[in-house]
Amino acid sequence: MDNGLTTSLTDIAGFGTLQTVQGLWYNKTDISIDGYKFSNCRFDSCRIFVNTTRFELFNCFLSQDTSIIYGPELIKVVKLWNSRNELIIRDFPVFAPAKNADGTISIIGTHQ
């Protein structure tokens, strides 16, 4: 195998692991955290977008006014988690599965 291909595969390996972001402060900005490991970072008044489980937050601060926007595939797990929580189903329908008239539930993402 030539060195070029080995280098390429090393790059693939590098891309497959989480990229560490150390000690950064984000203020009033939109940020997607997929693929990163945030370590000792701070988020003030931000909108954090997350679409996969491929992220880590280590010793990070999130202000109260920072909102988190969950992707449709990720929210399915939350809906399943809340599938029998009547309080969540009633008060926070966005985090709950669709409750059908016959008592069954539906959790639908973008995979069809």
Q: Give me the least distance between CB of 98 and other proteins, in Å please.
A: 19
Counting contacts by CB under 8 A, is residue 95 touching other proteins? no
What HEC string does 51-102 produce?
CCCCCEEECCEECCCCEEEECHHHHHHHHHHCCCCHHHHHHCHHHCCEECCC
Counting contacts by CB under 8 A, is residue 105 touching other proteins? no
C-beta closer to other proteins: residue 24 or 98: 24
- The 15-54 contact track toward other proteins, x by CB under 8 A, reads xxxxx-xxxxxxxxxxxx-xxx---xxx-x----x-xxxx
Q: Give me the least distance between CB of 93 and other proteins, in Å please.
A: 18
